[in-house]
């Protein structure tokens, strides 16, 4: 196949992020309940003499254009596995906030993997693609799968979850990003400071909330709001105290739940319905506590080829 191939990949919100203690390998065991939402990046793969990355859209200037880019690493990993030259131009059209705790970089990696597989005709199996995803990063397998899933291990071991409806979300995007490793380090520091300890021997194994799983299965937004949680939120607030004002503004506007999305700094607000989501978004936009506001819903499918492909 020589024509360009485009993959469309969704953002995610963590409706539960339970973080275990620090493992000897530097990672943390997680019980991570992902929900894919309708904000998407598009990754277009075009034949080229060498690997090249270009980016357009919001915050494009913050995205690396070298081989440290996760999309580039995905293309290189696929090419290496199949013994082919990674000659491809990857163009990323960004709509997912950059460094915002919504897995934008992970989405781009999954999109690049899917698009390059189609462009090069490697015909990798789904398990092979998921294996490459897991090697590249903890959130990338979910970007490929989408929907709603429980991630165990580092978050890469996925179990799809049943959902009974659509959930309405508002995302408040902050100025600047937060480094995921820095947020995890701060989580460990806060645990040590509190006296509980931060190692895997000190912290109970993370488990999914049964109330949360039940709420997802029945599509009950009010019950889901009562069960959402994020163990990284105190660390994100410690590093970026202004996020507390954003969370408060959304709650005051009638959000059913307010939480930091993943490692932040984007804040997520669960609303009762479309009308309530618009009201929360309007209030947040007027609050002066965030840079921009996005309204969407989920769950939505994972990475998909679009157009003729």
73 within 8 A of 242, measured Cβ to Cβ: no
Taking residue 80's Cβ as centre, other Cβ atoms within 10 Å add up to 11
Lookup: tokens for 171: 């995302």
Characterize the bridge pairing of strands 52-57 and 88-94. parallel
- Catalytic, 12? Answer yes
Catalytic residue among 12, 29, 59, 94: 12
207, burial (CB in 10 Å: exposed 0-12, middle 13-18, buried 19+)? exposed
Characterize the bridge pairing of strands 229-230 and 267-271. unpaired
- Rg from Cα positions in the chain: 19
57 within 8 A of 93, measured Cβ to Cβ: yes
Lookup: tokens for 174: 């902050």
Catalytic residue among 29, 41, 139, 231: 139
- Catalytic, 139? Answer yes
H or E element that contains 178: none
Lookup: tokens for 181: 């490793």
Taking residue 123's Cβ as centre, other Cβ atoms within 10 Å add up to 9
Nearest to 274 by CA among 200, 168, 142, 158: 168
Residues tagged in the binding site annotation for ATP: 97-107
190 within 8 A of 184, measured Cβ to Cβ: no
Q: Point out the residues that are catalytic.
A: 12, 139
């Amino acid at each position: 196949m020589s024509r360009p191939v485009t993959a469309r990949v969704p953002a995610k919100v963590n409706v539960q992020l339970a973080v275990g203690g620090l493992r000897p390998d530097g990672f943390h065991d997680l019980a991570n309940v992902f929900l894919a939402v309708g904000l998407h990046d598009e990754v277009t793969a075009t034949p080229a003499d060498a690997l090249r990355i270009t980016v357009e859209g919001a915050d494009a200037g913050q995205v690396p254009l070298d081989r440290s880019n996760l999309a580039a690493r995905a293309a290189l990993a696929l090419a290496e596995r199949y013994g082919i030259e990674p000659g491809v131009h990857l163009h990323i059209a960004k709509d997912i906030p950059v460094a915002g705790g919504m897995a934008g970089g992970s989405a781009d990696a999954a999109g690049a993997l899917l698009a390059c597989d189609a462009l090069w005709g490697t015909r990798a199996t789904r398990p092979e693609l998921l294996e490459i995803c897991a090697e590249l990063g903890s959130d990338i397998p979910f970007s490929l799968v989408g929907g709603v899933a429980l991630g165990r291990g580092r978050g890469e071991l996925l179990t799809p979850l049943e959902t009974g409806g659509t959930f309405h979300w508002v995302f408040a995007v902050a100025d600047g990003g937060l480094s995921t490793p820095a947020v995890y380090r701060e989580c460990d520091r806060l645990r040590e400071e509190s006296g509980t300890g931060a190692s895997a021997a000190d912290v109970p194994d993370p488990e999914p909330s049964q109330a949360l799983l039940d709420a997802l299965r029945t599509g009950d937004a009010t019950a889901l709001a009562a069960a959402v949680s994020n163990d990284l939120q105190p660390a994100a607030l410690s590093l970026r105290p202004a996020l507390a004002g954003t969370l408060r503004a959304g709650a005051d506007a009638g959000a059913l739940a307010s939480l930091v999305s993943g490692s932040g700094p984007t804040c997520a607000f669960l609303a009762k319905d479309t009308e309530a989501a618009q009201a929360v978004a309007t209030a947040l936009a007027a609050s002066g506590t965030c840079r921009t506001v996005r309204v969407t819903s989920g769950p939505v499918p994972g990475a998909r080829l679009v157009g003729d492909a």
